[in-house]
Amino acid sequence: MANNVLRINGEISSYTVWRVNQFLGDNKGKPVTVRMASPGGDVASAVQISHAFADHGDVTLIHDSFNASAATWLFGAKTIKMYSDCMLYVHCSSKEVFYWQSMNADQLKQMGVANAEDIKHLENIDRIIAGKYASRGKRSTEDMLTVMKAHPWLTAQECQDYGLIDEIINEKAPAKAANEMLSAFRNCAIPIPEDGGLSDERSFFQKLGEMLGLTKGDNSTFNQPPTTTTMNKKFINVNTLLNVEGLDENDSKVVLTTNQIQVIEDKIVELQGKVENHGNLEKQFSDKLDEFSDEVKNIKGLDAKISKIKQMFDKIPATATPAAATQQEPVDEFADIRKDPINNFYDE
């Protein structure tokens, strides 16, 4: 790669800031190109990179992958280009809530798990980012906040219509690391198709655009009111099985991950096994009852067999209860020889 071209792959972090500063310092006063393939990352680091681009003054940023989050608003670059078969994902900022999940300000309000300071902090960050989109683009800060809350994937044409890029590159993009990018997006909880990697096949991106309802030159997606995602907590048994507080619901639809579906599948198989085993026990019990008599054997159903056996036992006459023994006086074994101490005093 040429000395005036920097490739940024993966998550944006303090290390990325160091790389960018080193690269721009080595190319001070020279036009440079930065190729971006990133799922986003640390907001503060992205702010530093954007300022570094602006300070250099002649940076061309090229989006040649599916880029998201902080990677979409490095507007310190003098010129921003994007390949026609790539997309950008914009969304509101979020913070880690549980070890497996992060939430934006609206989700925190619905959950009630964060204090007002946390929510205010995220809302301030959202407004700063929306202001960046608005300053570079053609919409107001409020309009861009609405777009961010809808968290859409934007096609190259839509990015240009919104003023987020200056030029669309219609030629085929260079090969990209599909597996690396796919893993990065999953780690950052950014929605991407489960059945396709970030490959370099134009047909895949065209199909993906159609699947998302995003076509070239069509801005209908952003003229519609944003959908609202709520947390559905009413499916108590399912939530307990999946070990979650609730499921994200959007337009009466709930999206489950592959792992969650596998958990449900395993539970169904377990329950089916118990049902089948119960059927075997029922047959074994029925066979034992049939040994009681031929009459019982010819009766269908466990309840009927048990009822018949009970009737048979009820017909057996009860044994007579022996009369209670009468209490007798104790027998004096020595009465015939015992002396009367009073009447026979002199005989003693």
The residue ranking higher by pLDDT, 67 or 218, is 67
Tokens of 192: 């991407």
pLDDT at residue number 337? 65
d(CA 311, CA 305): 10
pLDDT at 236: 78
Q: How far is CA 241 from the centre of its chain?
A: 13
- 76: three-class secondary structure by DSSP: coil
- In this structure, the dihedral spanned by the alpha carbons of residues 261, 263, 268 and 272, taken in order and rounded to 10 degrees, is 140
3-class DSSP assignment, residue 94:
strand
Q: How confident is the model at residue 225 (pLDDT cuts 50, 70, 90)?
A: low
Percent of the chain predicted with pLDDT > 70 = 64
Which among 91, 35, 41, 39 has a CA at the least distance from the CA of 63?
35
Mean pLDDT of 232-238: 74
Tokens of 102: 């992060």
Q: Please name the residue that has the structure tokens 């007002």.
A: 116
Q: Residue 201: which pLDDT band, with cuts at 50, 70 and 90?
A: very low
Which helix (H) or strand (E) is 45 found in, with range? helix 43-56
* Cα-only R_g, the chain: 40
Q: Two tokens at 166?
A: 């200056």
C-alpha distances in angstroms, 178 versus 118, 184, 198, 206, 224?
A: 35, 10, 4, 17, 32
Taking the C-alpha atoms of residue 148 and residue 137, their distance in angstroms, rounded to an integer, is 14
Highest averaged pLDDT of the listed ranges 108-112, 189-193, 246-250, 300-304: 300-304
Q: What are the phi and psi torsion angles at 27 (to 5°)? A: -120, 35
Judge residue 343's burial from the number of C-beta atoms within 10 Å of its C-beta, 0-12 exposed, 13-18 middle, 19 or more buried: exposed
Distance CA 71, CA 185 (A): 12
pLDDT at position 73, please? 87
